[in-house]
Amino acid sequence: MRVVGVDLAGCSRNETGVCVLTVEGSRKHVATRLLLEDAEILSAIEESKPDLAGIDAPLTYAGVRRDCDELLREYGALPATLPGMETLARRGCIIAKELALRKVPFIEVYSKASAKILGVYSKDEFSMQKSMMALDLDGDINTRLLTRDELDAVSAAMTAYLHLLGRTSLVGGEGGSIAIPSV
């Protein structure tokens, strides 16, 4: 099984974290990288041929507050109607549209909520990475220090993986749904 996690940045000047999580038996291999442009992000997703992509960004937006953001406020979710979040939401909608055209299955995730639910969240990247290593992951997570964007991409990938196992809940409704772990 292969999933991709993406911690999408609001604009292409900022780095987007991408994680490919390959699961073979009990082995979970993590490969991460940082990308900028939509085209390279989409290519990285498509080339990995994922069973599912988990995107940490609003993937639906109609200019109004979404129920899913309100329901995840306790985890720090911000409404897509805020100026910075609106920029992210517009970019997320473009990515979602392109993934649909390329027939790549995807879900919207919220990495911070996932990390908190999985018990690995920390404001400190080093501490968070150490906690993630306890999830029996190998690959980049064990060989170098990852950036916050890469760590969030790992959380997004873990959520996509759990979604395929039927171990997530969808929060929200018509205006958009966010998958969070239900472990």
| Domain range summary for the chain, segments of one domain joined by + | 2-181
Fold of domain 2-181: Nucleotidyltransferase; domain 5 (3.30.420)
pLDDT at 51 over 80: yes
Is residue 80 very low, low, confident or very high in pLDDT (cuts 50, 70, 90)?
confident
58: left (phi over 0), alpha (psi -120 to 50) or beta: beta
Question: Is it the case that residue 65 has pLDDT exceeding 90?
Answer: no
Q: What is the pTM of this model?
A: 0.95
pLDDT in tens, 105-131: 999 999 999 999 999 999 999 999 999
Q: What is the mean pLDDT of residues 38-56?
A: 97
Separation CA 123–CA 82 (nearest Å) = 23
Q: What is the pLDDT of residue 156?
A: 98
